[in-house]
Chains A and B, each alone.
Chain A
Amino acid sequence: MTTQDNRISIWSIGSNLSTGMEDGFEGDPQLLCEHKHDGDVLDLQFLDQDRIVTASSTGAVTIFRHHQNSQTISVSQLWARAHRYPCDNAPCTGVVCSSPEIVTVGEDGRIVVFRADQEGVVRVIENADSSTIHAVTYLRTTEILTVNSIGQLKLWDFRQQSNSPSQILSLSGDRVPLHCVDRHPNQQHIVATGGQDGMLCVWDVRQGNTPFSLMEAHTAEMWEVHFHPTNPDHLFTCSEDGSLLHWETSSHSDMPSFLQGGRNSSMVSRSAMAPAGGKQPLISAWLSGDSSKGRLETTHMLPSQTLSVNSLDVLGPCLVCGTDGEAIFVNRQVPV
């Protein structure tokens, strides 16, 4: 009924860091090309240099190809009803790629594996979840992690043929829906999630099934969480409350923090238990759980009073995010 013309667009934000000590917002991004998109784009990821995969609210998964020479975009491949109900569409809520493999999840609780350039579906895990799966990420090349709307983090091992998760982790207490998940780039057992209550949780998937630390981050749903790909002491989160936070932790200390114990009063966090193995190398500061001892800094990255920040991405010193005010913010000089 309403005319929705959603599009997928490619913009250029100018050359690599030029001179200028001003605040990172130099010049407007230029629109290079765009293409119509059926339904809302709920998730988006680059498959490789030229191809982008999108997850649509119609349940479709599409691969778009960006032709650099002619600056055009065309549809390279489309799986129209990747996620569906028996007689209705089910939005596809998340997509993650490890070329040529693509994994998608949706409101129908299915996990679907595709291969770019291959027509059909490679594998489907039917009824993987009885509630909506909100996000997916790779843990290892053959393992993925999903989060759902009853607050569970599930590990799936593709080497196994069964349709059940190899591990389920969740917060004891309220079943707060989880909306986003991201894995530490270097240390594959560290995972961060964010959910409806705006809490940032850091998990160690090897140990136990409860999060290692909880931090009050936002006052409303946290939509996305990203570790910085090359500098993982930095973490970024964005939320419905209109803020984008930059978390910075320092990873050196005299005494391994897990031996310090104790809890602090200002932030909700659980002190780490000494691991059973005894002697352990210095673990990442993300798992210290003790955030008030000057080891965790948080900065707001946006001017106040924006509507919800729905999505963000970071690469090198560049940070980009989009808001419900139909605006895109680009910061070219993020201190990482």
Chain B
Amino acid sequence: MEEVDVEPTITNIPAISDGKHMGFAWGPGDILVYETRYKASGASGSGCSFIHEIRKDEDIYSPILRKLFNESHHIFVGLQTIREDLPSKSKKPQFVSISKNYRSVIRACMEELQQVAVSTKNTELATQCGNQVSILLAIELIWNLCEVLFIDAAPAGSLLLHLLDWVRLHKADVDEKAREVLQSESPAEHRDYWDVVVSYVLQGRLEEVRQMLVKQANLQPAARSMYKQMDTLLSKMPFYNPGGTQTLTEFDVKWRHWHEEVDRCLQDNSFASNRHLELICKILLGDEDTLLDHKELLGTWYHFLVTRLLFCHPTVKLTELHYYAQSCMTMFLDSRSVPEPLDNILLAAFEFDIHQVIKECSIALNNWWFVAHLTDLLDHCKLLQSHNLHFGSNLREFLLLEYASGLFTHHSLWQLAVDYFDHCPEFGRVYLELQIERVPLETERKALKVLRVCEQRQMSEQVRSICKIMAMRALRNNRLGSALSWSIRAKDAAFATLISERFLQDYCAKGTFSDLDLIDNLGPAMLLSDRLTFLGKYREFHKLYGEKRFREAAKLLLSLMTAKIAPQSFWMTLLTDALPLLEQKEVIFTADQTYELMFCLEELTSSLNITASSTDRPMQVCMSSHGLIPFHTIRLKAL
């Protein structure tokens, strides 16, 4: 057995008293737990009679997160239909765009949750939403980094620009603070002014730095030349332009020149008199100690990493990242603080250990949504080696199956899950077959939707099973027409026979047919089962009789017996029905027909166990045909 990655979390069930043993059963998305009578020591006592349902994933019931599931389903299905045969060059921008779509969906959810968290008066809801927002923030952060490193996988030069964007996107507090400062009366004298300036420098937003510094320069006319010098340095910092004509080497040369110039300024003590400007100068040189002095402004080790790369090694390549990542993390976090799960995940990403990223995310999050979709996307980018797991399928399929199975327990989201199963080639179908039969069918409409899913995938077993359930339910509620309609859908001859039996029983009991609208209009469905055909034809006989078309009625009646359409149990009734026809003044049955009738009667009596005695009402059967055959009287013992 595999060793466990993390210690399992313990959940206390408050209602079950100490020392009692629990029994449990797995459900599709939860565990049912109950208290047993067994006690380890002492007499076993009576216990609590409740069954507790424990569910790990509450997210599918959150009304706002549901949008995430619906929208991402749409994106997922679109992704699966990207043609495989296109060259990878043209597919990459598509994958990047799909990745951005996923992220924008996450952001939209975050915003909505944030709004609710802020506006609601319910503190529990506010905390819950707040928690969800932080989780989504982390998810988006990780996804964005994966997009930059794995999917976009930009070459040196562009890579740093993407990483800069990544950091900027996730450090929104700088802009807030800047707004506050700028809206104050004298921005340059605001206590947060220099913090904002330094933050901007750390993020490489030099335009904004220059704009801010102008305000300070205006306040200190004496130091104007110093500020001018700094301004020049800032304006000359080269940034790589991916679309431009400059090659990476040229950029590197230019950047080194600029770097040397800044170094000269520092050595010359040009900014010695102004500690702030000197600080900025040191940052521009990428001085580690200076950067580490500003941990609160940086906030995170990965910000530190990107800033350091910006000012030391802007032409960093993907393969070089992991050297810097590990060292930056170590430097930034004191020896006392333990890296959080998020830190480990990001580090794994920088080290290009995709599997580790997925594994850590699976452990940290309580819902498979993120890992399932990310893994699927990475798989499409052909970034996952086919890494066969112990339980049969590959990683992508495993995660999708887990995710979709979780969705299936939801009363509305199960339809999304169907599409996910469809795109799991190995086990998807089996999972779907097992799950689809367990969707609760409260209304016919839901049953029809489920059936449509099954029929589209040729799951005939499930179709029959579901139709049978619905037909039985209809039958129990005496809705014979509905029951028949379900058996027609499933082409279930056996059930159609059952329903016809019910009709016939009703007829025998009451003497009339119920639900004539159904029987009169069976149409070709009549052929589904013999009993059903008989029912239809028998009703036709009654109609013909009612319309006084006796000859045709007689012919039909006879054919029901001779063609063995009628079950033998019904022959007595049929023969009784023949009586009034025989008693008509006008001759209806031909001689042959009469003989056939008699033959049927004999067949019937000989096959029945006739018990002796009990005089019954003798039945007079009068037959005459053209006056040639004398009257016959047959005694029958009615059963």
Residues of A within 8 A of B (CB): 2-4, 40, 42, 57, 85-86, 88, 90-91, 93, 107-109, 127, 129-132, 148-150, 152, 154, 165, 168, 170, 172-175, 177, 196, 220-221, 240, 305, 307-308, 324-327
Which of these, A129, A154, A326, contacts B412 with CB under 8 Å? A326
In the complex, which of the residues A2, A170, A174 has the most CB atoms of chain B within 10 Å of its own CB atom? A2
CB distance from B405 to the nearest CB of A (A): 15
CB distance from B442 to the nearest CB of A (A): 6
Mark contacts of B580-600 with chain A using CB atoms, 8 A cut-off: 1 yes-contact digit, 0 otherwise. Answer: 000000000000000000000
Q: Is the beta-carbon distance between A149 and B415 smaller than 8 angstroms?
A: no
Q: Is the beta-carbon distance between A326 and B522 smaller than 8 angstroms?
A: no
Given the known interface contacts A2-B409, A240-B449, A326-B70, the answer about A149 and B481 at a Cβ–Cβ threshold of 8 Å is yes
CA gap between A85 and B66 in the complex, in Å: 34
CA gap between A104 and B335 in the complex, in Å: 73
Q: Is the beta-carbon distance between A132 and B444 smaller than 8 angstroms?
A: yes
For residue B525, CB closer than 8 A to chain A, the reply is yes
CB under 8 Å from chain A, chain B span 428-479 = 440, 442-445, 448-449, 452, 477-479
For residue B521, CB closer than 8 A to chain A, the reply is yes
Chain A positions within 8 Å of B479 at CB level: 107-109, 130-132
Q: Is the beta-carbon distance between A149 and B444 smaller than 8 angstroms?
A: yes
CB distance from B351 to the nearest CB of A (A): 38
Chain B positions within 8 Å of A129 at CB level: 481, 517
Beyond A2-B409, A42-B443, A149-B485, list 19 extra A-B contacts (CB 8 Å). Answer: A3-B61, A91-B442, A91-B445, A107-B479, A109-B482, A127-B515, A130-B514, A149-B444, A149-B481, A150-B521, A152-B517, A165-B517, A173-B523, A174-B523, A175-B485, A324-B415, A325-B70, A325-B416, A327-B70
Majority secondary structure, A binding face: loop
For residue B73, CB closer than 8 A to chain A, the reply is yes
A sample of 20 inter-chain contacts (CB < 8 A) reads A2-B409, A40-B442, A42-B445, A57-B443, A93-B445, A109-B479, A127-B515, A130-B482, A131-B482, A132-B485, A148-B481, A149-B444, A150-B484, A150-B521, A170-B523, A175-B488, A177-B485, A305-B78, A325-B70, A325-B416
CB under 8 Å from chain A, chain B span 53-101 = 61, 66-67, 70, 73-74, 77-78
Chain A positions within 8 Å of B524 at CB level: 173-174
CA gap between A37 and B479 in the complex, in Å: 27
Which of these, B442, B449, B485, contacts A131 with CB under 8 Å? B485
Chain A positions within 8 Å of B523 at CB level: 170, 172-175
CB distance from B296 to the nearest CB of A (A): 39
CA gap between A134 and B452 in the complex, in Å: 17
Q: Is the beta-carbon distance between A325 and B74 smaller than 8 angstroms?
A: yes
Majority secondary structure, B binding face: helix
For the complex of A and B, list the 5 residue pairs with the smallest distance between their C-beta atoms, beginning with the closest: A130-B481, A131-B481, A130-B515, A85-B477, A91-B443
Q: Is the beta-carbon distance between A88 and B480 smaller than 8 angstroms?
A: no
For residue B410, CB closer than 8 A to chain A, the reply is yes
Mark contacts of B343-374 with chain A using CB atoms, 8 A cut-off: 1 yes-contact digit, 0 otherwise. Answer: 00000000000000000000000000000000
Which of these, A90, A93, A168, contacts B521 with CB under 8 Å? A168
Q: Is the beta-carbon distance between A175 and B61 smaller than 8 angstroms?
A: no
Q: Is the beta-carbon distance between B477 and A131 smaller than 8 angstroms?
A: no
CA gap between A324 and B414 in the complex, in Å: 10
Which of these, A57, A150, A172, A240, contacts B518 with CB under 8 Å? A150
Q: Is the beta-carbon distance between B411 and A107 smaller than 8 angstroms?
A: no
CB under 8 Å from chain A, chain B span 471-511 = 477-482, 484-485, 488
Chain A positions within 8 Å of B488 at CB level: 175
CA gap between A170 and B520 in the complex, in Å: 12
CB distance from B452 to the nearest CB of A (A): 6
Q: Is the beta-carbon distance between B67 and A326 smaller than 8 angstroms?
A: yes
Residues of B within 8 A of A (CB): 61, 66-67, 70, 73-74, 77-78, 409-412, 415-416, 440, 442-445, 448-449, 452, 477-482, 484-485, 488, 514-515, 517-518, 521-525
CA gap between A154 and B518 in the complex, in Å: 12
CA gap between A173 and B488 in the complex, in Å: 13
CB distance from A134 to the nearest CB of B (A): 8
Chain A positions within 8 Å of B440 at CB level: 2
Residue on A nearest B63 in the bound complex, by CB: A5
Q: Is the beta-carbon distance between B415 and A108 smaller than 8 angstroms?
A: no
CB distance from A95 to the nearest CB of B (A): 14
CA gap between A289 and B612 in the complex, in Å: 68
Q: Is the beta-carbon distance between B452 and A150 smaller than 8 angstroms?
A: no
Q: Is the beta-carbon distance between B66 and A326 smaller than 8 angstroms?
A: yes
CB distance from B575 to the nearest CB of A (A): 29
CB distance from B524 to the nearest CB of A (A): 6
Q: Is the beta-carbon distance between B477 and A90 smaller than 8 angstroms?
A: yes
Chain B positions within 8 Å of A308 at CB level: 415, 449
Q: Is the beta-carbon distance between B442 and A170 smaller than 8 angstroms?
A: no
Residue on B nearest A40 in the bound complex, by CB: B443
Residue on B nearest A308 in the bound complex, by CB: B449
Residue on B nearest A324 in the bound complex, by CB: B415
CB distance from B636 to the nearest CB of A (A): 35
In the complex, which of the residues B416, B449, B514 has the most CB atoms of chain A within 10 Å of its own CB atom? B449
Given the known interface contacts A150-B521, A152-B521, A324-B415, the answer about A305 and B74 at a Cβ–Cβ threshold of 8 Å is yes
Given the known interface contacts A131-B479, A131-B482, the answer about A2 and B410 at a Cβ–Cβ threshold of 8 Å is yes
Chain B positions within 8 Å of A196 at CB level: 448
Q: Is the beta-carbon distance between A168 and B485 smaller than 8 angstroms?
A: no
